[in-house]
Structure 1
Amino acid sequence: MSPLALTIGDPSGIGPEILLFAWQKRSDKLPPFYVLGDPALLAARARQLGLDIPIVEAEPEAASALFATSLPVAPLENGLVDMPGVPSVINAAGVIEAIQRAVEDTLSGRASGIVTCPIAKKPLYDAGFSFPGHTEFLGHLSNEITGETVIPVMMLAGPELRTVPVTVHQPLADVPKSLTKDLVERTGEITARDLKERFGVPSPRLAVSGLNPHAGEGGSMGREDIQIIAPAIAALRDKGIDAFGPLPADTMFHPSARQKYDAALCMYHDQALIPVKTIGFDDTVNVTLGLPFIRTSPDHGTAFDIAGQGIARPDSLLAAIQLARTLADNAAKHSA
């Protein structure tokens, strides 16, 4: 199978060093990958951290053969400036190019999946980037390249819990206005499909949270749970999907509750991300469902405050790499 494509993320953050640390773990049966980035920047960061890592410029087709003895890097047309801890709009073009090229490589079969290192939104916004984040940009690129409508869905997948936020990067005050029966239903459908086809779960079980405290307490704390979420769950069940709820979010995530479902659909960002990051911060992975390719990412941010110090842990990136390979293998088996 083709190697994985790893994007460098914001080079002023910890992306470059966790990539370097991850390559050092290749003896642990790490799947081969290549980096879309700047070879000179990675070499400089390796020297700064005292790491003896051979870095070689390579096209994706050569990456697997080179991976055992060197870190393959596919150079970007837009160079990157190495300024640990100091995010800059200067690097925006290269950060965006890395994502675009990773999508192109994966859709063309040169890569088997994408693993993205963290980006910072502000430098990209200052350069004219118009998407809320990685997830939305990947959906746009998929639509643009394939000509087919793609609806990306964010999942946080850890060893003990998977959560999916129905609404994602928006103010909490806007969530009730954005929440619709169709949105909950569509998110549930995409989640169930990818759990089956990519995660290898034969009959996915979806626990669906309420929006309001106590799932609305019979309508006394808000009507959204009765008027929006419950009808969406009924529609999912009519389609043969084992979805149940709406459930009070404060009782969904203790150990015995987690045994009853394969993923939790949550109504907004923090309702989904707080429990999964609390339970498994270092080994939880951000997965984008609904795309025509595999995409995973560490569940943490750029960590500008510790960039260049050599203390960043690569655990979540390693988990993202391993999960990307598993999902790619499962998807290939399902297609066959």
Structure 2
Amino acid sequence: MKDLHLPLVAITMGDPVGIGPEIISKALCDPRIKNCCQPVVYGDARRLKAGALLAPMDRAVEEIASIHDARCDAHTLCVVNPHPVDTDNLAWGHPSAASGAAMAAYLEAAIDDALAGRISAIATGPINKYALKMANIHFNGHTEILAHRTGTQKYAMMLAGPRLKVVLATIHIRLKQVSKALSEEMITTVIALTDAALKTRFGLASPRIAVAGLNPHAGESGLFGDEETRVIAPAIESSASQGILASGPHPPDTIFYRASQGEFDAVVAMYHDQGLGPFKMVHFDDGVNTTLGLPIIRTSVDHGTAYDIAGKGIASAESMVAAITMAAGQARCLNRQKDQASI
């Protein structure tokens, strides 16, 4: 490896028939990646080379069976392939049981190496829930697989960018189920996960966390709903009693703007689209999904497999670049804190 001081970041390919091979190839040519980490791709070398035909790389590709075999330098990229498949039968934009099994195997190998301390962080390429099910893998996505493989019970999704960070209290559930799903304990847990991540992974000594209300105008004293007074406000009070700088419930129509202007370091949103709508207005191209609460560092692109444009050479790599650089940044921040604790 070229620089032992740079964190070793695993980049999982995602679905090999999606845009993952292309955006990884593009990202690895970006100077921001070369200066922040030592990248190792977990995927298929032939698919990566096919992606590189769409976005030429400036280094050779060497496929290896295990991270233990990595002997790559600045001119050679190592590709760990724990699940070789017949790539001749893979077509861009056409997921299959084979591509679904491969994408899961790439992720699981990276998780195992992260848990063993052989890599510093994971940046994941896009996977597809339908392809997972075709491969008889019954998880809804990355987060669920990561939580299962790491034995994590309490975790949360953060969408992060330079101007705005949003954490979701509930994720992929029906809108009519949100109110019933919210509880004081759950919101308190999400606030605590947010506070811990901002301190340990982003280096903020005293992070300011805004908590959005569920209803218009944050309920307006119960006129538009009682979730704010019944569960959200008590969770904020409980968090504040633990020394966390949490405030709210704030009206959802203004709090994301205030946070994007620097008034807060993160916003806890009550449901998926409440948080992701404002976030993607600000960070559509460079947003990153990072999982809080895991014992390992994981970031991801904030988009899907984009089968409709796979193989066309037009996919943007900005979110992939952002995910890799954020993973490396979190690893460096964590290492600094470990060094300081050992002094």
Q: Which residue of 2 aligns with 1:201?
A: 204
Choose from 29, 32, 35 the match for 2:35: 29
Q: Which residue of 1 aligns with 2:20?
A: 15
CA contact (8 A) 1:41 1:80 kept: no
Q: Which residue of 1 aligns with 2:9?
A: 4
- Measured after TM superposition, the shift of residue 257 of structure 1 is 6.6
Q: Which residue of 2 aligns with 1:72?
A: 78
- Measured after TM superposition, the shift of residue 5 of structure 1 is 0.8
- Measured after TM superposition, the shift of residue 46 of structure 1 is 2.5
Q: Which residue of 1 aligns with 2:195?
A: 192
Mark the CA change 1:268 to 1:46 in structure 2 (over 3 Å): closer, same or farther. Answer: same
- Measured after TM superposition, the shift of residue 128 of structure 1 is 2.5
Percent identity (aligned): 43
CA contact (8 A) 2:58 2:75 kept: no
Deviations 1:31-66 (A, max 9, x none): 211111111222233336566652112443565x62
Choose from 165, 169, 172 the match for 1:166: 169
Higher deviation after alignment, 183-192 or 271-280: 271-280
CA contact (8 A) 1:57 1:73 kept: yes
- Unaligned runs of 5+ residues in structure 2 are none
Choose from 118, 137, 160 the match for 1:157: 160
1:1-336 to 2 correspondence within 5 Å?
Answer: 1=5, 2-26=7-31, 29-47=35-53, 53-58=59-64, 59-61=66-68, 63=70, 66-79=72-85, 81=87, 82-143=90-151, 149-255=152-258, 258-336=261-339
- Measured after TM superposition, the shift of residue 111 of structure 1 is 0.6
- Measured after TM superposition, the shift of residue 76 of structure 1 is 2.3
- Measured after TM superposition, the shift of residue 78 of structure 1 is 4.1
- Measured after TM superposition, the shift of residue 256 of structure 1 is 7.0
Mark the CA change 1:12 to 1:45 in structure 2 (over 3 Å): closer, same or farther. Answer: same
SS where residue 28 of structure 2 aligns?
helix
SS where residue 251 of structure 1 aligns?
helix
SS where residue 203 of structure 1 aligns?
coil
- Measured after TM superposition, the shift of residue 79 of structure 1 is 1.7
Amino acid in the other structure paired with 1:55: V
SS where residue 130 of structure 1 aligns?
coil
Number of aligned positions between the proteins: 330
SS where residue 271 of structure 1 aligns?
helix
Higher deviation after alignment, 95-104 or 66-75: 66-75
CA contact (8 A) 2:122 2:297 kept: yes
User: C-alpha separation between the residues in 2 aligned to 1:270 and 1:309?
Assistant: 30
SS where residue 221 of structure 2 aligns?
helix
Higher deviation after alignment, 258-267 or 20-29: 20-29
CA contact (8 A) 2:96 2:134 kept: no
User: C-alpha separation between the residues in 1 aligned to 2:117 and 2:337?
Assistant: 17
Amino acid in the other structure paired with 1:165: L
Higher deviation after alignment, 65-74 or 54-63: 54-63
Mark the CA change 1:109 to 1:80 in structure 2 (over 3 Å): closer, same or farther. Answer: farther
- Measured after TM superposition, the shift of residue 319 of structure 1 is 0.9
Deviations 1:66-108 (A, max 9, x none): 2421221011224264311112222111111111111111111
- Unaligned runs of 5+ residues in structure 1 are 144-148
Amino acid in the other structure paired with 2:99: N
- Moved >4 Å (runs of 4+): 48-53
Deviations 1:206-262 (A, max 9, x none): 100001111112111111111010000000001000100001100112257742211
Higher deviation after alignment, 73-82 or 95-104: 73-82
SS where residue 209 of structure 2 aligns?
strand
User: C-alpha separation between the residues in 2 aligned to 1:153 and 1:120?
Assistant: 20
- Measured after TM superposition, the shift of residue 14 of structure 1 is 0.6
SS where residue 40 of structure 1 aligns?
helix
Q: TM-score, normalised by structure 2?
A: 0.91
